[in-house]
A and B are shown apart, each in its own frame.
Chain A
Amino acid sequence: MPDVKRIIGTVREVIRRWFDPSEVKRVGTTPDYRFSLANERTFLAWLRTGLALIAGGLAAAQFLPPLPLRHLREAIAVALLLLGATVAIRAVNHWTRTERAIRLGEELPVSRFPAVLALLVALGALLLLGAVLVKGLGGR
C-alpha cells in the first residue's frame, strides 16, 4: 500500500519539522527577535484556546445534567475534546509556517481555520440552546 506509506512519511516529515528548529533556521535571515516572540505568543494564545475547548468538553461531561436527546451531552463533550486537540496541533504547525515566512520575508500564511472554528463553535452553541429550550418547555 504505497499511499499509506506516503501519508505516514509526510506526517513524520511534518512532525520532524516542528521539533527541529535547525530546519527553520536554515532558510532566510534571522528576524528581529520581537517578531519571533510575537509569533510565539500567538501560538500560546491558540494553545490556550484549545485548552479552553478541552476544558469545556471535560466540564460538559462531568457537570451537565443529561440532555433530552440521548447521548447529546457525550457528543458535545467529545466534539469539544477533538476540536481542542485539532486547535493545539494546528497551532504548532501554523507557528512553524509563520516563522518560516517571517525569515524569508514572505507573506504570512493565510488560513480559513479561524473562520471554520468560529462557525463550529456558533453551531454547537445554537444546538445546545435548542436542547435547553426543548428541555425547559417540554420537561414538565
Chain B
Amino acid sequence: MTRDPGRQPERTRLAWRRTGLTMTVVAGLALRLALTGGVTGAVLAAAVVLLWAGALVALWGRAAGRGPLGVDTRSLPSVALATAGVALLSVPLVLRGVW
C-alpha cells in the first residue's frame, strides 16, 4: 500500500519551482524598468538582482526536495521578504516619471 497516494512532497517541490520561475519573471520586469533610468536606476537594478539571487538561494533546497519537511526552514519568510522588497524597490522606479 502506498503511504501517500497524494504525492505531497513532489507537489510541494513543483510548487516551489513554479514560484521560483514566477519570481524570475518579475525580477526581469523590474530590471527592464530599472535599466532605463540612469544612476539611481542602476543602483535599484543591482538591489533587485541581489534580492532575486537571495530568493533563489533560499528556495533552491526546497525546490530540490532536500532538507527536512515541515517548519524547519527559513526559506518561506526569506522568499516572501525578497518579493516584498522587489515590489517596494519598484515604487520609486514607477514614480520617477511623475516628477
- Assess whether B83 is in contact with A84, with CB atoms less than 8 Å apart: yes
- Assess whether A57 is in contact with B87, with CB atoms less than 8 Å apart: yes
CB of A120, distance to nearest CB on chain B (Å): 15
- Assess whether A54 is in contact with B69, with CB atoms less than 8 Å apart: no
Q: Which residues of A contact B76 (CB under 8 A)?
A: 18, 40, 43, 92, 95
- Assess whether B80 is in contact with A89, with CB atoms less than 8 Å apart: yes
Q: Chain B binding site: helix, strand, loop or mixed by DSSP? A: helix
Cβ of A30 within 8 Å of any chain B Cβ, yes or no, is yes
Chain B count of residues within 8 A CB distance of the other chain: 42
Q: Which residues of B contact A59 (CB under 8 A)?
A: 29
Q: Which residues of A contact B9 (CB under 8 A)?
A: 37
Which chain A residue has the least Cβ–Cβ distance from B69?
A: A33
Q: Which residues of B contact A51 (CB under 8 A)?
A: 19, 22-23, 25-26, 83
With the chains together, A121 CA to B54 CA distance in Å? 29
Which chain A residue has the least Cβ–Cβ distance from B3?
A: A34
